Structure 1
Amino acid sequence: MGVLEGLHFDNLALRTLPVDTKDGNERRPIPRACYARVKPTSVKNPRLVAASPSALALLDLDMSETDRKEFVEVMSGNMLLPGMDPAAHCYCGHQFGNFAGQLGDGAVIYLGEVINSAGARWEIQLKGAGLTPFSRQADGRKVLRSSIREFLASEALHHLGIATTRAGCITTSDTEVVRDVLYNGNPISERASLVLRIAPTFFRFGSFEIFKKPDTQTGRAGPSYDESRETEKEMLPVMLNHIIKTYFPDIWEDIPVHTDQSVGLRIKAEDRRRNMYLEFYFEVVRRTFQLVAAWQSVGFCHGVLNTDNMSILGLTIDYGPYGFLDRYDPEHVCNHSDDSGMYSYEAQPGRCFWNCEKLAEALAPLLDAGRARAQLDALYAQEYHRTYQRIMRQKLGLLELVDEENDAALVEDLLEVMHKTGADFTNTFRWLAMVELPPTSSHSSGSHPNGEASASPQAEDRASNGTSTSGSGEGAFLERILSSLATPQELAEAAQPRMHPHSLRVLLQFSHNDLLLASMGVTKDMLQQESARLQRSEELKRLDLAAKARADAEAWRGWLRRYRARLQQEVDAGADACRRIATMNGINPRYVLRNWIAQQAIDAAEKGDYNQVHRVLRLLENPYSDDAAVNLDANIGSNGKDVCKREMQYDGPVPQWAKGLCVSCSS
């Protein structure tokens, strides 16, 4: 492993792409450029909060380097290493469906690109490094709580096997910034903090939107737009060629076009280029759909899926108001400013699809937009639906047979039962490994016309009467799931409309007036959704606890009958019980970064105790582990704040949904 001074910088992006002729952090439009050079603003008394060994290893840096004063000075922006060439990236974006014009790195500074000992290229950035030309009305700073959240989330998703940018370390300082945390007019002073971010590149969809003509709705244009489109004609091929050649080498093809070539040869060369650009676009779309399928499978909500937050490499990028599902709710919104639920959990796949459409529009001058759009639906089916269903089959331990239609229905029905009963997303899938395979049947399995095995009559009989001859842990699963479900009051509170019920009733009186609704930023669809939420909330408030318990038990037993029948198919096809459990426990995490876990680490860190950040990081580095020592070392319960009374010395009441979750003693 190397040292800071040994980092080999090769800042290819700044050598290849246009850079603004003016340096400095003065807020301004940046036309005809992808970057603007700007230096980090120093902070007072910087100190290390935490570091990720595996992320720093990408740069060949050993953890012993974090003990050095020079390390902290560099990672806080107070000192530059030889070879660093700090700059901020210019990009635009569609935010909540509307084109916002120039955005750019308002709080992030590119330090350079490191080539490690394996020859891999890693761009490194400091987030929270001070003013840039793109800071607009902000101060270019980040605080400790947001920095810890980004650091932990980046590493959490990485260890879950989901493509993401990485976070090498967090530093904080005595430099103060003012923030209105609760947006209630009572600002407080917080410590300026920084995160070292690492990725092959931070180019995003919005990087290609800098040439956009004035938007018909917002009137905003990209900073590099001109009526002649000459800037776009000159810059866009350079940008695309750099990105494809550097990050998509399997697609790259050097296709020279010379003026002395014949017309026929030039046309053929241009066609080959368009095909290359089209294949690049398809690959970006594939990675994007695979990424959102992975998010859905672990209950991750990004929160701000604007085009400027979509990586061209298919990475999770720009962690803001993200969240992991606790109780399964497809309408869950983790961003409190998302009044319409545009970026809800269930809306994420469709939103990524829309963003891919916007990317095609941005690249239209150089690719066949018609072919690009025509392939979107096919790619969505191939990459999103198939990836999602493949993962969900594995989460259910269905490994031997593929019955796409019936398996998809089984998954959807499970999610519906989880939603109606108030089951925890992560724990439900983890606990399903307790349901053992039924015994091998003596009959010969039937088959579908397509050659796939069908459920046997014996399996259907056992499923219909709810019996199990295997002595499995199904009873234990039911006991655990039924004892952890949300109460009617909890579900009623979660189902409340996002707007005040009185405001909703007033707006419903004007639902026939589209112009009036539009002037208030409301649509009929929003009103219908909010009305449905209000009705569901009121129904749940009237639901008796005992009645809910009976209905919950019936719903879960009904789904388990179908699941057992499907597992019988697996047995008839030669399923191996050990392989099934290993697969399920290797894809259904034991731990995810729940909001309360992150907040617990933040609360301690803001008091100067960074140990909890280290503990949570260790927990997240082993998300599939059932090792009680990992759980207890982190000093947190499995699914609630310190819920284990015996091991955690917790004297408060154990929440209903958290009972039986301690992996050590089940108290």
Structure 2
Amino acid sequence: WPLSQEGNSPRHRLPSPAGAGQPCSGQADGRKVLRSSVREFLCSEAMFHLGVPTTRAGACVTSESTVVRDVFYDGNPKHEPCAVVLRIASTFLRFGSFEIFKAEDEHTGRAGPSMGRNDIRVQMLDYVVSTFYPEIQATHASDSVQRNAAFFREVTRRTARMVAEWQCVGFCHGVLNTDNMSIVGLTIDYGPFGFLDRYDPDHVCNASDNAGRYSFSKQPEVCKWNLQKLAEALVPELPLEQGEAILAEEYDAEFRRHYLSKMRRKLGLVQAEREEDPALVAKLLETMHLTGADFTNTFYLLSSFPVGPEAPGLAEFLTALMEQCASLEELRLAFRPQMDPRQLSMMLMLAQSNPQLFALIGTRANVTKELERVEQQARLEQLSPAELLSRNRGHWADWLQQYRTRLEQDREGAADEDTWQAERMHVMHANNPKYVLRNYIAQNAIEAAENGDFSEVRRVLKLLEAPYHREGEAAEVLEAAEPEGAGSTAERRRSYSSKPPLWAAELCVT
């Protein structure tokens, strides 16, 4: 398989127009720092063991060389150690690879570097289909248009399934331009990624994505947009109207099918699908959002939900679930204002006095979000911990009643109750990870590595290689958080399955 010695620094890439060429890093020196190398190495392996289509990391090689980086773009550069990540995949061709042939853009005046070289595009398309989609090549060897249509259909389906997997494990990519979309449907280019902690559909893991283009909930939409750009780049080898028809027919349907199938398994619904299942999933996510519940841990905890009309332990389960909801302190930190009050006041004045200029600045969404933060912060100031707990219990009690009813229906469709229960537990344990690469876990490993200690990188990697529940392991209650000052391997591993510490919310990835 082709190998990629990654010298770019994904953490320093800014969102860019689809297919736009970029320098290799902030200083265009082609060097990759240890910090982003450790993140990419660990995350690509974590995704593989989660069962998500991905490129792999073969090795992370460190260096005594250093390079200057302005990590937060705040005028405070520092020397950082360099490293090389050896990446492995069947191919590193991307959607953007086909955009080098683009004609001049009417708005920017920019054209692809190989504009007009249709001969190269035909060669590249022939290579991609024959090498990575040989069954399609064999089926449509005599009709290139039909072959290209079948190829685009399969790329569309693979991409839809890949992003559905992301949404089901709470993974945010961070920079989903066409250059970061694999032509064979793999997760590629791990830069400012992040896994959800507190569930927030509008979560943006890339701090330099000010407009929220690549927020968690927008990932399916952005991937579809990128497929549209690929369809345009394949013209005339695939007529645009044909490519667009395939995209309209396949993408949304394949995404919904795969997403619902995966979510049903995460909820332990192992019998026939029912019409109300999408609404049950949507209501669960709404409840998680309202209560600030931890995405990974909430799903993992559901496998211990007591089933049956007389099932004991509901109160204990609700108590454990409340521990996964955001505290007042967490919520106040999450919704703290980002703008200085004077700056916000000036923006509001500008919106009133000169709306045209205000619109050109492109800050309307930011100001709206800031006003929502101020309003939310004011509400939180009036809320007591007891009131928050009561509100959260009410939200969860409502959804759990619906969930219990649905589980009872699922159980009634089974021939044997014990067999159904065993299958339900097996399916939930195989689809709800206990460990994901949260930002603070990666940060712990990075800080140790930057001090010459790679033992934490190895420990985290070992943990991520077995992210799901293991047979014989107690599943009822999540492990307690690591005590202050604890240092043993067992204590570190226990803490990594718990809610993240408060300081994790302060981490900034760009």
TM range (shorter): 0.7 to 0.9
Residue among 599, 602, 624 paired with 2:468: 624
Residue 571 of structure 1 is matched in structure 2 by: 411
SS in 1 for 2:217: coil
Note closer, same or farther for the CA distance 1:648–1:99 as it changes in structure 2 (3 Å cut): closer
Residue 101 of structure 1 is matched in structure 2 by: 20
Residue 555 of structure 1 is matched in structure 2 by: 395
Residue 421 of structure 1 is matched in structure 2 by: 291
Does residue 379 of structure 2 align to residue 539 of structure 1?
A: yes
Does residue 282 of structure 2 align to residue 282 of structure 1?
A: no
What do residues 477-524 of structure 1 show as CA deviations (whole Å, max 9, x unaligned)? 2111113321234223323465555444433444475642343133x4
Task: Supply the distance in 1 between the matched residues of 2:96 and 2:436 (Cα, whole angstroms).
Answer: 30
Structure 2: where are the runs of 5+ without partners? Answer: 501-510
What do residues 600-643 of structure 1 show as CA deviations (whole Å, max 9, x unaligned)? 1111111111111111010000000358999xxxxxx9685557
Alignment of 1:371-520 (within 5 A): 371-404=242-275, 406-438=276-308, 468-471=309-312, 473-496=313-336, 500=340, 502-511=342-351, 515-520=356-361
Contact 1:437 1:571 in 2 (8 A): no
TM-score for both structures, normalised by structure 2: 0.87
Q: Which has the larger radius of gyration?
A: 1
Residue 442 of structure 2 is matched in structure 1 by: 598
What do residues 454-480 of structure 1 show as CA deviations (whole Å, max 9, x unaligned)? xxxxxxxxxxxxxx4123x43332111
What do residues 82-128 of structure 1 show as CA deviations (whole Å, max 9, x unaligned)? xxxxxx9xxxxx9847356334xx65xxxxxxxxxxxxxxxxxxxxx
Q: 1:435 offset after TM fit, Å?
A: 1.1
Contact 2:160 2:255 in 1 (8 A): yes
Q: 1:563 offset after TM fit, Å?
A: 0.6
SS in 2 for 1:333: coil
Which AA in structure 2 matches 1:163?
Answer: P
What do residues 245-265 of structure 1 show as CA deviations (whole Å, max 9, x unaligned)? 000111114978xxxxxxxxx
Residue 586 of structure 1 is matched in structure 2 by: 430
Which AA in structure 2 matches 1:422?
Answer: G
Does residue 176 of structure 2 align to residue 305 of structure 1?
A: yes
Task: Supply the distance in 2 between the matched residues of 1:274 and 1:95 (Cα, whole angstroms).
Answer: 36
Q: 1:383 offset after TM fit, Å?
A: 1.1
Which structure has the highest helix share of the two? 2
Give the CA RMSD over aligned residues.
3.2
Does residue 161 of structure 2 align to residue 161 of structure 1?
A: no
SS in 2 for 1:176: strand
TM-score for both structures, normalised by structure 1: 0.67
By relative contact order (CA 8 Å, sep 6+), the higher-ranking structure is: 2
Note closer, same or farther for the CA distance 1:215–1:506 as it changes in structure 2 (3 Å cut): farther
Contact 1:324 1:595 in 2 (8 A): yes
Does residue 89 of structure 2 align to residue 199 of structure 1?
A: yes
Q: 1:645 offset after TM fit, Å?
A: 6.2
Task: Supply the distance in 1 between the matched residues of 2:15 and 2:468 (Cα, whole angstroms).
Answer: 35
SS in 1 for 2:58: strand
Structure 1: where are the runs of 5+ without partners? Answer: 1-8, 12-58, 60-73, 78-87, 89-93, 108-134, 257-268, 439-467, 631-636, 660-667
SS in 1 for 2:183: coil
Alignment of 1:82-97 (within 5 A): 96=15
Residue 85 of structure 1 is matched in structure 2 by: none
Task: Supply the distance in 2 between the matched residues of 1:628 and 1:646 (Cα, whole angstroms).
Answer: 25
Task: Supply the distance in 2 between the matched residues of 1:136 and 1:607 (Cα, whole angstroms).
Answer: 24
Q: 1:559 offset after TM fit, Å?
A: 0.7
Residue 260 of structure 1 is matched in structure 2 by: none
Task: Supply the distance in 2 between the matched residues of 1:539 and 1:500 (Cα, whole angstroms).
Answer: 19
Alignment of 1:58-457 (within 5 A): 96=15, 98-99=17-18, 101-103=20-22, 107=24, 137-225=27-115, 229=116, 231=117, 233-253=118-138, 272-404=143-275, 406-438=276-308
Structure 1 residue ranges (4+ consecutive) displaced by more than 6 angstroms after TM superposition: 74-77, 627-630, 643-650
Task: Supply the distance in 1 between the matched residues of 2:111 and 2:14 (Cα, whole angstroms).
Answer: 14
Which AA in structure 2 matches 1:430?
Answer: Y
SS in 2 for 1:101: coil
Note closer, same or farther for the CA distance 1:607–1:158 as it changes in structure 2 (3 Å cut): same
Task: Supply the distance in 1 between the matched residues of 2:427 and 2:132 (Cα, whole angstroms).
Answer: 32
Task: Supply the distance in 2 between the matched residues of 1:419 and 1:314 (Cα, whole angstroms).
Answer: 29
Aligned residues, how many? 486
Q: 1:331 offset after TM fit, Å?
A: 1.0
Which AA in structure 1 matches 2:106?
Answer: T
